Amino acid sequence: MVHVRASLSQLPAYVPGRKLPGAIVLASNESPFGPPPGVAGTLAEAAGGVSRYPDLNATDLVQALAARHGVDPDRIAVGAGSSEVCGQLLHTVVGPGDEVVFGWRSFEAYPILTAVAGGTAVKVPLRGHTLDLDAMAAAITDRTRLVFVCNPNNPTSTALGERELLDFADRVPREVMIVVDEAYREYADPALVPDALALFGDRPNVVVLRTFSKAYGLAGLRVGYCVAPPDVAAHVRKTQVPFSVGALAQRAAVVALGESAEVARQAALTVAERERVTRRLRALHYNVPESQANFVWLPLGDDSADFAVHCLAGRVVVRPFFGEGVRVTIGLPEENDALLALAATWKG
């Protein structure tokens, strides 16, 4: 029998949001609006070239991202979704025995990717459904190589403010990489949740992670990126699987960046629905933390599985985290109404 790494034998597989034909799917934090209008035409035009390898360096996309964020192109590294970029960052700094600190619960891929990189995950319990930065700072040791700060946090939807983030960054040793994962940045209130790129500027140990999978509606094409110090970004590019961001994905992402006004309009519609859903759920006596993402968190504990089964019986798919809570993506108004009707009839 082929020898398999012992560290992987107990590693759980990533669990995606469930798909059910004909059902309302509110489990995967996808945009309900589809990609920006110009993307479909671009994909049709570019489809004839898929027999050729894509640009290894994603030159046009990197240039467009650099222009958008006002940084030099050598600070950008891309990957097949922000999940791959997380893995690239881990492979850049983590070796056997090294530690990676993050709040828990947070993005489900963090512990999986850490183990694949050969590192040891250090899970720090949340405080009030929010990352506990004091406890995370205290968990850093001389073996810590990277800290993930998911802001807004997935799956609990909560976010940290400017002062908290700055104080935390000041407490982290400069040789430890801080990765601020802003997958849901477009749904956050800028008056409450700072833009990490603007906040941390050129700090040599801070990397900011973004994705096209959420507000930009390109989850099926897999495009993510990070903005990092040039020397870090150069190493991150080395760890990317060659050609992992396909030609169609690169073209679509460039077009989507050019349609930022439409992306912002759609995000605003989702935020308005998020507030409506939150108000109604609270009126039904659900405990709903303040969300800064395109989903809400229901901390139902041991009732999480039962609530998810109840919703599934009504043809609405939500994402349970057994024993902890349920994450519900904000969809179109009629989809949200279906969820609210089920929430009203659940006997928890």
List the domains of the chain with CATH numbers. 6-34+261-345 (3.90.1150.10), 38-257 (3.40.640.10)
CA 113 – CA 235 distance, rounded (Å): 17
The pairing of beta strand 319-321 with beta strand 325-329: antiparallel
Query: What was the pLDDT predicted at 325?
Result: 98
Beta bridge partners of 77: 226
CA 284 – CA 122 distance, rounded (Å): 36
Query: What was the pLDDT predicted at 21?
Result: 78
Mean pLDDT (10-residue bins), the chain, 348 residues? 74 71 94 94 89 96 98 98 98 96 98 95 97 98 98 98 98 98 98 97 95 98 98 97 96 97 98 98 98 98 98 97 97 98 94
**What does the DSSP assignment read for 39-89?**
HHHHHHHHGGGTTSPP-TT-HHHHHHHHHHHTS-GGGEEEESHHHHHHHHH
Query: What was the pLDDT predicted at 272?
Result: 98
Cβ partners under 8 Å of residue 171, min gap 6: 137
229 — phi, psi (to 5°)? Answer: -55, 145
Query: What was the pLDDT predicted at 17?
Result: 67
Query: What was the pLDDT predicted at 177?
Result: 98
Q: Minimal CA–CA distance to 225: which of 210, 240, 241?
A: 210
